[in-house]
Structure formats: structure tokens, C-alpha cells
Amino acid sequence: MIYSIISRALWEEVSKGDTYAPESLQTDGFIHCSTAEQIPWVAGQYYAGRTDLLLLGIEERTLKAELVYEDLYELNELFPHIYGELNLDAVSKVMIFEPNADGTFSFPA
């Protein structure tokens, strides 16, 4: 399973449809995702201070778009990227994703 961070408001909007195509699909050509182990670091880097987040659990085997694990930013770590729209029937979990009391993030238990 791979994961994607999304705001509650955006999820409420897109979950009414069949697919999700975030801005990164236009700007970067793919949807940024992470493994469970990568989520705390990614959240700390890009979502610090945010309290309006959800974590989407995505079943890799049911994705319709191509999934590629790659290191595009020379971090010496492979990140999952979805090259196309996310078909929402591949989302099997939606979890509240709030920071810890100290502002850091942990993967939800």
C-alpha cells in the first residue's frame, strides 16, 4: 500500500468523483506518494503546521495509471509516483492525519 497526503476540504470535493488529478499531475507529470515509512518525513518537509490533513491509503494492485518507484530528487530513496489520474476505487483507507503535540508527524497507528 502507498499513501498520499491531501487536505480534508480537497478530499471532500474530489471524493464525489471517480478520479483525482492534483496540480502535481500538471506541474510534475505525476502524483506524489509515499510509503508508510516515508510519510513522517514527507509531512514534516511539506506540511509543517497543517492540521487539516488526511492520509489516503492506496492499493497499488488496483491502480489504473502506471506506478513507478524512483528517486527524482537525489534523496537516495525510491518514492512511489503515479503517472496519471488516481482512480478513487484504489483508495481503500482514508485516515485523519494530524501532527503530534510537538508539531512532528507520525504514521497513524
Question: Is residue 60 in a domain?
Answer: yes
Domain that holds residue 57: 2-96
Q: Residue 33 belongs to a domain with what CATH number?
A: 3.20.170.20
Amino acid at 10: L
Per-residue pLDDT of the chain (109 residues; tens, 9 = 90+): 999 999 999 999 999 999 999 999 999 999 999 999 999 999 999 999 999 999 999 999 999 999 999 999 888 999 999 999 999 999 999 999 999 999 999 999 8
Q: Considering its fold, how many domains does the chain have in total? A: 1
Strands (E), 14-102: 19-20, 31-32, 53-58, 66-70, 79-83, 86-87, 91-96
In a domain, 109, yes or no: no
User: Is 102 a domain residue?
Assistant: no
Q: Which three cell numbers stand for residue 80?
A: 512511489
Instruction: State pLDDT tens for residues 78-93.
Output: 999 999 999 999 999 9
Q: Looking at the domain assignment, is residue 29 inside a domain?
A: yes
Residue 14 belongs to a domain: yes
Strands (E), the chain: 2-7, 19-20, 31-32, 53-58, 66-70, 79-83, 86-87, 91-96
Express each pLDDT in 25-39 by its tens digit. 999 999 999 999 999
Report yes or no: 81 and 70 within 8 Å, Cβ to Cβ: yes
| 103 lies in some domain | no
